[in-house]
Amino acid sequence: MNILVLNAGSATLKFQVVVTDEARIASNDDRKLLRGQIERIGGESVITLRSSDSVSRTLAAPLRDVRAAVDWLVAYATSPESGTGLTSRAELHAVGHRVVHGGERFTDSVRIDDAVRRDIEAHIELAPLHNPHNLRGIEAAGAALGDGVPQVAVFDTSFHQTLPDYAYLYAIPYPLYRRHRIRRYGFHGTSHRSVAYRWRTLTGRSRDAVRIITLHLGNGCSACAISGGVSIDTSMGFTPLEGLVMGTRSGDIDAALLDYIGAKEGLSLPQVEALLNNQSGLLGLSGLTNDMRDLLAEAHEHNDRRARLAIDIFCYRARKYIGSYLAAMGGADAVVFAGGIGENSAEIRAQICEGLAWAGLAVNSEANAQLTDGAEGCFSTPESRLQAWVVPTDEELLIARDTFRVVTGRDAP
């Protein structure tokens, strides 16, 4: 089945065309015919494309909205110059969408119909920056391919709907949860699920036997405690602001700071929230950048004190979460790293794992150093009771597989 995967943002559309079916999933042999992104939608858009043979190209086109962008993409993907081998729109059999917030309503990926569309709309209040754009992507794909082509929504939140109430409730007056659904939802669910699935395939375990801590360390960062194959706790909360230190987000802070920072700095509450989301984390601490590569270079080459401090706080917070999830699960079999930082930086992985010897984790430094650029594998010593792994995340692939599964009525593997 040829599946178009779409992740529609405010001015960006990320996409892939993936060929998948039951046999390909079983042998991990799904094919990516095309991937890329369209940026600056609404003006002169910049289109970055990568074909299956990894040839990259950049194009420009005036695309006034997401609808025009999807229309352009579908025309391109089915043209000879794309190299996909597809020759007509009818060869795109289904569309899978990343949808950020499914609230408590969606515990799994679903086929999109009018009722589902209304429900996604009803969750706009919880994800005002994301769900409206995801909906526009759904409308645009319907317009480009026709109503007969099935569309599937895959939610960032649904993997975490298995959290027990004592993990998802904040200790604030309970009626606030009843009245406004204020609780922890968690995000990055597609990533944590993708990593957990790949890890259990690599280690030959059944889903029930998966007891791991996954760390998605990219620009956004989150940790997830997975026990019996399901998410039982995660570090992001009502919004993605909670939890680990991220590129520009603070992660956990004392809520009383909102008012205090506002009063001291003459900022409104929305301005303080924006400061915590966009000017904090690695960027705020270092005063330099949110990019971990550059921070590591500054720390090494110029011995920059604040770059080092930002890195130390980042790693310390991640290690604290590992410790708390070990306690929450009564131990784990592995810590699994993913995301741009988790997949590429042996140094950060080593620093996070430092001091976890008490939990039985011993790093094999040589194996750790080998794991970059999409490599997967274990980097703890054979004697380690708690293993350490790198398993690159592939959210788009999981969206494609879920789309295949939902459209053909198969159960989750």
Single-letter amino acid code for the residue at 55: V
Of 294-323, which residues contact ligand ADP (CB under 6 A)? 296
**Residue 387 binds ligand ADP, judged by CB under 6 A:** no
**Residue 344 binds ligand ADP, judged by CB under 6 A:** yes
Looking at the Cβ atoms of 232 and 338, the one nearer to ligand ADP is 338
Exactly one of 137, 150, 186, 218 binds ligand ADP (CB under 6 A); which one?
218
Looking at the Cβ atoms of 186 and 247, the one nearer to ligand ADP is 247
In the complex, least distance from residue 41 CB atom to ligand ADP, rounded to whole angstroms: 18
Q: What b/e readout covers 215-253, taking b as 16+ CB neighbours within 10 angstroms?
A: bbbbbbbbbbbbbebbbbbbbbbbbbbbbbbbbbbbbee
Give the strand pairing for 377-378 and 334-338. Answer: unpaired
In which order are the strands placed within the sheet that holds 110-111? 56-62, 44-51, 31-39, 13-19, 2-8, 94-99, 151-155, 110-111
In which order are the strands placed within the sheet that holds 230-234? 230-234, 221-227, 211-217, 334-338, 387-390, 377-378
Which residue stretch of 41-49, 104-112, 120-128, 336-344 sits at the interface with ligand ADP (rule: CB under 6 A)?
336-344
**Residue 219 binds ligand ADP, judged by CB under 6 A:** yes
In the complex, least distance from residue 393 CB atom to ligand ADP, rounded to whole angstroms: 8
Kindly report the number of other CB atoms within 10 A of residue 168's CB atom.
Answer: 20
Identify whether the C-beta of residue 50 lies closer than 8 Å to the C-beta of residue 31: no
Which residue stretch of 127-135, 142-150, 338-346, 400-408 sits at the interface with ligand ADP (rule: CB under 6 A)?
338-346
In whole angstroms, what is the distance from residue 307 CA to residue 282 CA? Answer: 8
Query: Which one of the listed residues 65, 113, 156, 233 is annotated catalytic?
Result: 156
Identify whether the C-beta of residue 185 lies closer than 8 Å to the C-beta of residue 160: yes
Q: Which helix (H) or strand (E) holds 120?
A: helix 114-122
In the complex, least distance from residue 224 CB atom to ligand ADP, rounded to whole angstroms: 15
By CB under 6 A, how many residues form the interface with ligand ADP? 13
In the complex, least distance from residue 327 CB atom to ligand ADP, rounded to whole angstroms: 27
**Residue 281 binds ligand ADP, judged by CB under 6 A:** no
In whole angstroms, what is the distance from residue 211 CA to residue 335 CA? Answer: 9
CA distances from 171 to 126, 161, 174 (A): 19, 19, 8
Q: Catalytic annotation on 156?
A: yes
Which residue stretch of 67-75, 303-311, 335-343, 356-364 sits at the interface with ligand ADP (rule: CB under 6 A)?
335-343
Exactly one of 102, 220, 229, 281 binds ligand ADP (CB under 6 A); which one?
220
Which residue stretch of 36-44, 63-71, 115-123, 289-297 sits at the interface with ligand ADP (rule: CB under 6 A)?
289-297
In the complex, least distance from residue 221 CB atom to ligand ADP, rounded to whole angstroms: 8
Which residue stretch of 75-83, 144-152, 217-225, 304-312 sits at the interface with ligand ADP (rule: CB under 6 A)?
217-225
Residue closest to 398 by CA, chosen among 139, 141, 107, 195: 195
Q: Which backbone phi and psi does 372 adopt, to 5 degrees?
A: -145, 170
Q: Write out the residues near ligand ADP by the rule CB under 6 A.
A: 218-220, 247, 291-293, 296, 339-341, 344-345
Write out the catalytic residue numbers: 156
